Structure 1
Amino acid sequence: MAQRIMILATNGFEQSELMEPRKNLDEAGYETVVVSPEAGAIKGWDEKDWGQSVKVDMALDDADAADFDALVLPGGQMNPDILRMNDKAVQMVRDFCEAGKPVAAICHAPWLLVEAGLANGKNMTAWPSVHTDLINAGATVLDQEVVVDNNLITSRKPGDIPAFSKAIIEALEKQVDVSRAA
């Protein structure tokens, strides 16, 4: 059975930061599931205007971190800002981290890691306007296309998506290797 990856998003997600990692993960043989507090579909933001809609596969209220192998958090300004005000979304991020599962956040999505209290003592990256929030939360900010600190994977921007996707896949492969060795 393929490993399942939750993509937690709502309206205003950065189009490329959901679509491209999802495509890369699907092509690598993983099952991606879009989870949202919204029903039906959510609409992306594509650079300067509204973009495509994406079907919501599962309601956040019905989702459980135990049923997934990793969490992907697309950025954009609106999406993570809305989600960090949603207690269930923040708790979902905590649940994945507490289980030691990969949590991958790009662009503004590390705001959710800050809100969940998970940035302190971690090496992270994000969109430049989020750096001060990370520093204030106790993280060390590195200006790299991808930063991996244990189970946390962070990236800065759409141009980092290839490295971001590769880091997620490597974390999932490592997870399988560890479970096989156990």
Structure 2
Amino acid sequence: MKGKLSGKKVLMFVDDLYEDLELWYPKLRLTEEGAEVVIAGKVKGKVYSGKHTYPCRAYASFEELHHNDFDALVIPGGFAPDKLRREENVLKLTKNIFTSGKLVAHICHAGWIPISAGIMKGFRCTSTPGIKDDLLNAGAIWVDEPVVVDRNMISSRRPDDLPEFCKAIVEYLSK
């Protein structure tokens, strides 16, 4: 499919209790623009269940992926990020994608993963208010806005912000 993001490859993480809309809305929106979206979980082929029970299959496992194969990482929220940030390969992929200058986008509770990857210091961002203190303690500059773009990081607060979040991601990757 041709679109603004043809030829781009985007990684997304999944685990049980992911926020359904925060995974599916960006996945479908980026696919609509022509990007190849790879959803990765701890177990390749496993079907994970969202907070609202919507299923999502992992088409890759974390350990088989390399950061150089992706143009961006988009991390959905929910309670999955609290489990995912304990996975060494998730943190390594996140940090390596980010330090290579590629986009890392996170929404709602997904900021937990960049915090644990050690990449938040000095970055202006937003999130659900529930992890505001975590971001501040990691050295981030937290603001209450629908979407924040700071260098190669994009963040949003909640599902209601998904239109602005996805628009910012598409604009960033189509430059």
How does the TM-score come out when normalised to structure 2? 0.94
Aligned to 1:13, what secondary structure does the other structure show?
coil
Matching residue of 1:104: 105
Runs of 4+ in structure 1 displaced over 6 angstroms? none
Map 1:22-171 → 2, pairs under 5 A: 22-40=27-45, 41-46=47-52, 51-76=53-78, 78-171=79-172
Q: Are the counterparts in 1 of residues 22 and 162 from structure 2 also a CA contact under 8 Å?
A: yes
Which residue of the other structure, out of 15, 18, 43, is the alignment partner of 1:13?
18
Give the C-alpha shift of residue 10 in structure 1: 1.2
| Cα-to-partner distance string for 1:96-148 (whole Å, 9 max, x where unaligned) | 10111011000000111111111111101000010000111111111011101
Aligned to 2:154, what secondary structure does the other structure show?
strand
Aligned to 2:44, what secondary structure does the other structure show?
coil
* Farther-moved stretch of structure 1 (33-42 vs 12-21): 33-42
Give the C-alpha shift of residue 15 in structure 1: 0.3
Give unpaired runs (5+ residues) of structure 1.
175-182
Give the % identical residues: 37
Aligned to 2:102, what secondary structure does the other structure show?
coil
Give unpaired runs (5+ residues) of structure 2.
1-5
CA distance in 2, matches of 1:43, 1:107: 18
**TM-align CA RMSD:** 1.0
Q: How many residues align?
A: 169
Q: Are the counterparts in 1 of residues 43 and 60 from structure 2 also a CA contact under 8 Å?
A: no
